[in-house]
Amino acid sequence: MNGERRFVCINCGHRVKELFKKYSNTLKTTNCEKCHQIADKYIEFEEFIILIDALLLDSCAFRHIIYNGDFKLYWKISLVVLLLESFALCRQKVNDPPNTELHVHEKGFYAYTLQNIGDYLFMTLLLLIITATLSFNWVKKIGPRHFTLTIFKVVLISNLSKFFLLPILIWRNNTTVFGRSLHHVLVMGHHFFSLILAYESIVVRRKTLRWLGIILVILAFVLKEYLRQYAAFLMEVNIK
């Protein structure tokens, strides 16, 4: 059971055996036995549309990406987001006077890249502990490997919010310090809600632990951000 593909209905989270039936050269989507809606409408959508819906905080899109979709594209997108976030943090923290040496910027970029990788792994570890504590039977049922991969997907999907750092990189010189700070706050707010909805999409069937899990995820996010800011402060001092 641990090795087989596990599809779910993107509307209610109920497990389904298949998402479509193939007749000759046509595909017919299947309906969920529980909610009687189309199990996964996104199997007929382009990946770009699914990505936009995920950025618009659509729980159905989250569920499709985590459970039913081909995640290969999102591994690549996650790498791009990681580099984008690292560059944005480097530009935000390191001043740009005319005589600044290039190696200073390179050192900052690599340092923030390592910080972000650690940030991803730390948040994954926190979610693994929270979920395993609240729903150990579910973890046993799906297997440790599949469980870990699912949680890691949740973290990566929530980090797609960092795409919204791109505008402030392009128009950095046409705004104020307050404008840049406000933009970063809004991006982090979007990331926060994206993490909550992505995590909720995998615990929707366990309603008794749903709200407790969400509260613990919020606390984990706060702890992660506190440690992140502390690490960023130490790296900024070392860079200077």
Q: Tell me: the pLDDT tens digits for 63-79? A: 999 999 888 888 888 99
Range from 93-97, 137-141, 177-181, 209-213 carrying the lowest mean pLDDT: 93-97
Separation between Cα atoms, residue 232 and residue 19, nearest integer Å: 44
52 close to 77: Cβ distance less than 8 angstroms: no
pTM: 0.83
What is the average per-residue pLDDT within 164-184?
84
Per the DSSP assignment, residues forming a β-bridge with 7 are 16
Q: What whole-number distance in Å separates Cα of residue 155 and Cα of residue 160? A: 9
Question: What pLDDT digit, counting tens, does each position of 183-193 carry?
Answer: 888 999 999 99
Average pLDDT over residues 151-166: 91
More confident of the two residues 40 and 108:
40
Helix (H) or strand (E) holding 15: strand 15-16
User: Which single residue is written with the structure tokens 């069937």?
Assistant: 205
> How much is the mean pLDDT over the chain?
82
Range 86-106 average pLDDT? 60
Q: Is the pLDDT of residue 172 over 70?
A: yes
